[in-house]
Amino acid sequence: MKNTIGNSVTVTLFGESHGPCVGVVIDGLAPGIPVDRALIEKMLSRRRPAGGVSTARQEADAFTIESGVFDGYTTGTPVCIRIPNTDVRSGDYNRSLARPSHADYTARQKYHGFEDYRGGGHFSGRLTAALVAAGALVMPALKAKGIRIGTHICRCGGIQDRGFCDLEKDLDSLEQLGFAVLDSDAGEKMAQAILKAKAEGDSLGGVMETVITGLEAGLGEPWFDSAESVLSHMLFSVPAVKGVEFGAGFAIADMTGWSANDAFYMENGKVKTLTNRAGGINGGITNGMPVVFRCAVRPTPTISKEQNTVDMDKLENSVLAAKGRHDPCIAPRVAAVIDAVTALTVCDLLAQRHGTDWLAGK
């Protein structure tokens, strides 16, 4: 099992959904990065369930920083963050019945039945709490360099949010929102669509749109660690993400070269582009424009409607109406996760270009 990602700044996940805790180890951080516990708490609160559109499982996420931080700053040694699991209900899960589109069957094939199946075990979205804490820990270092990240629910239940307009104002707004939309009317309609699916024992997916501002030109290591490659690698590790596109994405295939290209121009001594259909990346390297990408998030696979499945112990067909507490839509909570993993990836890209001390302003 490969639970570590990154080159200069590495992230290692540990824990299971119904185990004692989930956690993360971040290695390669420079000494002297300020650690803002209030920001970590705020980011975790954005990820936590909120109202009827989320799971009934309520975790306090009372994290502890076990190592690597002293007197409010990173020490340069590995940072370990641990988040206890306190609201588990393991009896809701059946070891032998594979939940459709979950990792129950594939995990058994890979780990020969020794995996912790409760609540999805190591494959649960519960582990994203640790990723959010890790991302929040490095965000002050990025902010000090003028780099900001924000994600909104671009589409859910057939309802479209407006796109990014005034980036600074939109990013300010998203930092304060639990339900990450730029148009409050669209957000209300999305919430109603989610509640309708929940009442029917079903679930919804969504499309998330993310922008990164303040990135310099020149980040990315072609061929195989291009900016898109490393971001996509991290983004696809987030449970339920099934697609990633940058800039105009798949729509660019229907354009001509003339309409797809981003023309260059000079402004105040800086090279910029008139449009941003490439999403701020050319040749796998950032070009200084905002990096824009979208993630397709699948509907929550654990639903209470009856579904055909197999009994993995008896090797026979069966039917499952899943129990347990699950989100009728993951999209509202995944915005904080995408922001966090993006922050971690950006830190790694910057550390590769400038060295790890650069993140602490040295």
CA angle 56, 57, 61 (to 5 degrees): 135
Residue 69 has pLDDT above 80, yes or no: yes
The band of 55, judged by pLDDT with boundaries at 50, 70 and 90, is low
- pLDDT at residue 325 above 80? no
Alpha-carbon dihedral sign for residues 15, 236, 243, 8: positive
What's residue 119's pLDDT? 84
Cα–Cα distance for residue pair 206/75, rounded to 1 Å: 39
Tokens for 231? 């971001």
- Residue 63 reports pLDDT greater than 80: yes
Q: Where are the domains of the chain?
A: 4-356
Confidence check: pLDDT of 35 > 80:
yes
Which pair of tokens denotes residue 357? Answer: 């001390």
Q: Residue 191: its pLDDT value, please?
A: 95
Mean pLDDT lowest among 109-123, 154-168, 220-234: 109-123
Which whole number is the average pLDDT over 115-135?
93
> Residue 283 CB: number of other CB atoms within 10 A?
11
pLDDT of residue 57: 63
> Which residue shows structure tokens 């990315």?
220
Q: What is the mean pLDDT of residues 311-326?
A: 87
What pLDDT sits at residue 264? 98
Q: How far apart are CA 63 and CA 301, in angstroms?
A: 28
Q: What is the largest CA-CA distance in the chain?
A: 70
CATH class of the domain at 4-356: alpha beta
Confidence of residue 150 (pLDDT cuts 50, 70, 90): very high
Backbone angles phi, psi at 159, to 5 degrees: -100, 130
At 322 the pLDDT is 75
pLDDT higher at 67 or 92: 67
DSSP-derived 3-state class of residue 300: coil
Give residue-wise pLDDT tens across range 169-196: 999 999 988 899 999 999 999 999 999 9
Tell me the percentage of the chain whose pLDDT exceeds 70: 98
Using an 8 Å Cβ cutoff, are 83 and 165 in contact?
A: no
- Bin 315: left if φ > 0, else alpha if -120 < ψ < 50, else beta: left
Task: Assign 288 to helix, strand or coil.
Answer: coil
Cα separation, 148 vs 330, in Å, equals: 23
Look up the pTM and report it: 0.95
Angle, CA of 234, 67 and 10, to the nearest 5°: 20
Q: Is the pLDDT of residue 58 over 90?
A: no
Whether the predicted pLDDT of 95 surpasses 70: yes
CA pair distance 291, 216, nearest whole angstrom: 10
Mean pLDDT of 129-135: 97
pLDDT for residue 302? 86
224 contacts: CB under 8 Å, gap ≥ 6: none
- Model confidence at 92: pLDDT above 80: no
- Provide the pLDDT for residue 56: 62
